[in-house]
Structures are given as C-alpha cells and as structure tokens.
Amino acid sequence: MLIFVLAYLGGVLTIFSPCVLPVLPFIFARSDRSFRRSGLPILIGMAATFTVLASLAAVGGAWLVALNQYGRYAAMLLLLLMGLALVFPALADRMMRPFVAFGGRLQQRADRESSIRGSLLLGVAVGFLWAPCAGPILGLVLAGAALNGANLHSALLLLVFAAGAASSLALALLAGGRVFSLMKRGLGAEEWLRRGLGVAVLAGVVAIALGWDTRFLAQFDFLNTAGTEQKLIAQLAKPAAVRQSATPAEASLPLMPSFDGATKWFNSPPLASGSLRGKVVLVDFWTYSCINCLRTLPYLKAWDRKYRDQGLVIIGVHTPEFAFEKDPRNVGQAISDLGIKYPVVMDNRYAVWNAYNNQYWPAHYLIDANGRIREHHFGEGAYDETERMIRSLLEEAHQDKIVLAGGLVHVAGSGATEAASAGARSPETYLGYARQQNLSSPEPVSKDRAANYSAPRKLEADHWALAGEWLVGGESCVLHTSGGSISYRFRGRDLHLVLGSPGGKPVRFRVTLDGVAPGANHGTDTDARGNGMVREQRLYQLVRQRGKIGVHTFRIEFLDPGVHAFAFTFG
C-alpha cells in the first residue's frame, strides 16, 4: 500500500517539474469549457498516453525512445497549430495551407463542448510532452517494473502515478476556469485572454523544441522537485540496499538492473544490460561537482586503460545533486575536461539510481560476466580491494585462461582529483536552507527573498557567514549586489566551493586566508593573489595548503553580482 501512496504523491509533484511548466498553457487554454466534456477527456488522454509509454519503457528498448521522440514532434506540431489558431482565428484558413487550416478546423472542433474527441486528442499530445518529465519516484516505479516484468502490480502503480499527475492538472484546470470566467466580465477580455493563451502556447512549443524546459528552468532550484521526491522515497519507501556478497554460487545474487530511464549517453551508444553479458562491468554513480567522486576518477580512468581490452566495461552513471547538473551541456563539458573516455549515462530522473537502490555518491557496483552484482563499495577508498575483485572476475570470466600483466595500479591525482589529506577536516557544508548548518550570520534567514547579511567578527571552527545582499534558496545562495562575501573557519588541506553563473556572465572574485592573499596556498582556480573567476557551474578549488595544515579563516569576496554558491567541501 505504501508504494501506491508514494506513486500517487510522485504524480502530484510532477506538475512542479521544470519541463512540465511549458505544457500548462495548453491546459489553461481549455479551462473555460465544460470539465466533463473538455477537461476530463484531456486528463484521460494525457494519463492514458503516459501510462502506455511508461509501461512500454519498463520492457522496451531503443525503438521506444525513437517512438516517443516522433510522438513529441507530432504533439509539438499539433499544439503549434492550435496556438496559431488561438492567436489568429480569422487568419487560420489563410496561413500555411493546408496545415494551419487543418489546425484551425481542429481547434474549432475542439472548442465545441460536444467535441470530446478533440479534447482527447489534445490530452494525447500533452501526454507525449509530459511523459519525459518524470522524476525519481517514477524511476523507482519503472525500475521495479523492469526488474519484475510486466504484471498487474506494475500497471496499477503506473496508473496511480498518472492519476496523481491528473489530479494536480485537474486542480490547475479548475482554477484556470475561474480566472477565465472573472476576466470574461471585462469588455473584450475574452478575446485578448484567448490570444494571450495562444502566445503562451506558442512560447511553450518553442521552449520544448529548444530544450529550454530542462536547460533554462532547471537553473532555478525552487522549481526542482527531485530533492523532495528523494526525501519521500527515503521516508516512505525505505528501500533495502543491494546486498554485498562474495559467494558467486548463491542463486540469490541480484541481477544487474537495466539502464532504462536514462536520459542521454556520452562516449557510447545506449548500452543494454543483456549486451554486457560476458563482460565484467563496474557501475560508478557520480556527479561532476562531488569532490569525493572526483577523487575516485584517477583510479577509474587507470582501470579503464589497463583492463578494457581484457573485458572490463566501466559505466559512469551521472545522477545529479544540483539543478545545474541536469544540463547535458554542463555534463558533456565536465566529461571532456576530466578526460573521461568510458561510457557515461545521464540519470536525471534517478531511474538507474533507484533501480540499484543506491543512496551514495560515489558508489561502485561490480557485475560479473553472468550479469550478477558481486560487490559494491560506497565512498572513496578500498581501491586495492576493488581492483583485486576486478582481476578476479576477469579471470573467472575467461575461465582462468587470461594472464593479467603487472600488479595493481598506482595513481596520483592532481588538483581537485588528488586524494584527501589524512588529518581532520571540516564537514561538507551546504549553503541552501534545505540542508544548511552552522551559519553564523546574526540575521535570520529570509527564505527565497533577497536580504542583507553580515559576518561576525570571529567565527568558530566549521562555521561560516554571509555578508552583503543574498537570496538564500533551498539549494544555493545567490548574490544580488557586488561586494558580497562568504567566510568560513575551516580545517583541512583543501577548500572547494561549488559555484555557478547561470547566465553565462563571468563573475570575478578574490580569496583571502586569515585576511591576506593565499600566496603559495592558492588553489587551482585562484592565483597567488587570490584572484579568480567563475565562468561555469562546477566545483572550484580555492585553497591548497602546501605547508603545515591548520585551522584558518577563509573569505571569498565577489566583485560582480549574480553568482550562485552551493556547497563547501574539504580535502
């Protein structure tokens, strides 16, 4: 019963997903019609389309991806025609004949209260556009369907999820109807309102076609529902972790889950679990702004170079922690900058994450040639043990007919990928209020509103403070005026800060240690005078102490507004 509640809540939350927002004008454009003859058929068509696509996704392959993409193209064309008909009803028959004429006739038919078929068709179109917007909860549902096969339980879960989404959209439809009726009382308001909705429909089609629904809107953490859904999963579902075992003869060893639900592949065409049989697979869950993940990369790249020809396949599963990590351009740039050559798949919907019941970054899962999960490790370290297991599984796959040359790899990273120091260090510290701790600014936090903050004269160890005008959001702090700063009394050799400038405009900054320029203790993203610049959204290494490691007061001042600050990590 609990999983059905979780599925319904996940469906309700989907309306707040960034890529759903451009779809809403299509719903509001019908909000002044009879709910039974217009609104309800839209919701039924949408839910039915989504349920069919999601059901096929649980058992389908690459052909389904192509089918859904063609369906999206057709849906965008249909809604484009309807939007033009709303904006230019008198010119619908003259523009782009015969296509716009068809769209105008379709819109006129759909406008009649008796035309249930037109509303159903609109609902089907919305369903094709809405289906890819699923988040972590649907990933959990689809993963269960993929692992257990198509059955009544899986179908019911998908229907419940679709019902949750339809419920939230129904409320939006009813609310839009009331607004429509109020505005119609004004002279000529109805015609202008229809044209305004038509413009919104066209803008929504453009946003979806250009990918702005996932690139631009995802920059705003208050529109991101993945964190909320993950909390629901953690609190309600309580999934058991994949069991670790070194007994290959055990029939209960879990099979490798599929990569269904992944949103994009880098360095490789899409890989199916079945095609990897006979190979030893290392699945690495990571995200490019995670310092612990970055410090494992030198070993992963070395293992890929050494054992790829012997049958090892490393697959990086990039499951985002922050909204900007959902942008394929950011991820692709990070993969290139980090020199990763093995396949990487984007897991924006947490589908693969939930299929493994994973809860950590980084996490490594080793799969044998028969497709069974034989080992896992969470966090950094245990590199020698992991490599010995890789060698053992390769020898097992080749029935001991392979000779693995050389011993274990010995690597040393540089910059942010260098191993952490052995001494005590400050904890990872998030700046957004959702996971905020140890903020020492005396002013109360004004959530999602710009406010002025100040730093105390002295900070306690592991505490930090804001100064200047900042908007504190759930995921990050956004600087509204130049001259704002962040201070931190930290322990550790290295200090990193995840920063971004979503608009693409460079943001200059200056770093000090105990009130003076860092000199030789500067990081890879600062010079000896402490100067640096935020150009993209990623983790920045600001301090790397070369001498004796102690407790120091760090301060970063931003000379330009607009920076987003997400989290401190230390090494």
Beta bridge pairs of residue 490:
552
Give strand ranges (E) for 187-304.
264-266, 280-286
How far apart are the C-alpha atoms of 225 and 14, rounded to whole Å? 8
Using DSSP's 3-state secondary structure scheme, residue 69 falls into helix
Pairing between β-strand 373-378 and β-strand 464-472 as defined by DSSP bridges? unpaired
- Helix and strand totals (H; E) in the chain: 15, 17
240-417: in CATH 3.40.30.10: yes
Long-range contacts of 173-179 (CB under 8 A, 24+ apart): 173/27, 173/28, 173/30, 173/31, 173/35, 173/39, 173/42, 173/43, 174/31, 174/35, 174/39, 175/31, 176/27, 176/28, 176/31, 176/32, 177/31, 177/32, 177/33, 177/35, 177/39, 179/31
How far apart are the C-alpha atoms of 486 and 498, rounded to whole Å? 13
How far apart are the C-alpha atoms of 54 and 145, rounded to whole Å? 10
Q: Are 269 and 35 a contacting pair, CB within 8 Å?
A: no
Per-position pLDDT tens, the chain of length 571: 666 776 777 677 666 655 555 556 656 665 656 666 666 777 777 667 766 665 554 444 434 444 444 554 555 565 566 556 556 655 544 544 444 444 445 445 544 444 566 667 666 766 655 555 555 555 555 555 444 444 566 667 777 777 777 777 777 666 665 655 554 454 445 455 556 656 765 666 566 555 554 444 444 444 455 555 555 555 444 443 343 444 445 456 788 998 988 889 999 999 988 889 999 999 999 999 999 899 999 999 999 999 999 999 999 999 998 888 988 999 999 999 999 999 999 998 888 998 898 988 999 999 999 999 999 999 888 899 999 999 999 998 888 777 787 788 888 877 778 877 777 889 999 999 999 999 999 999 999 999 999 999 999 999 999 999 999 999 999 999 999 999 999 999 999 999 998 777 899 999 999 999 999 999 999 999 999 999 999 999 999 998 788 899 999 999 999 999 999 999 8
How far apart are the C-alpha atoms of 271 and 163, rounded to whole Å? 32
Structure tokens, 488: 């931190």
Give residue for tokens 């402490």.
530
Structure tokens, 403: 């000779």
**CB under 8 Å to 266, separation ≥6 — which residues?**
331, 332, 335, 343, 344, 345, 346
On the question of a cis peptide bond just before residue 362, with omega within 30 degrees of 0, the verdict is yes
Beta bridge pairs of residue 567:
430, 498
Homologous superfamily of domain range 429-570 = Galactose-binding domain-like (2.60.120.260)
Whole-structure pTM value: 0.60
Q: Are 516 and 495 a contacting pair, CB within 8 Å?
A: no
Give residue for tokens 């409320």.
171
Pairing between β-strand 280-286 and β-strand 429-430 as defined by DSSP bridges? unpaired
Domain ranges of the chain: 2-230, 240-417, 429-570
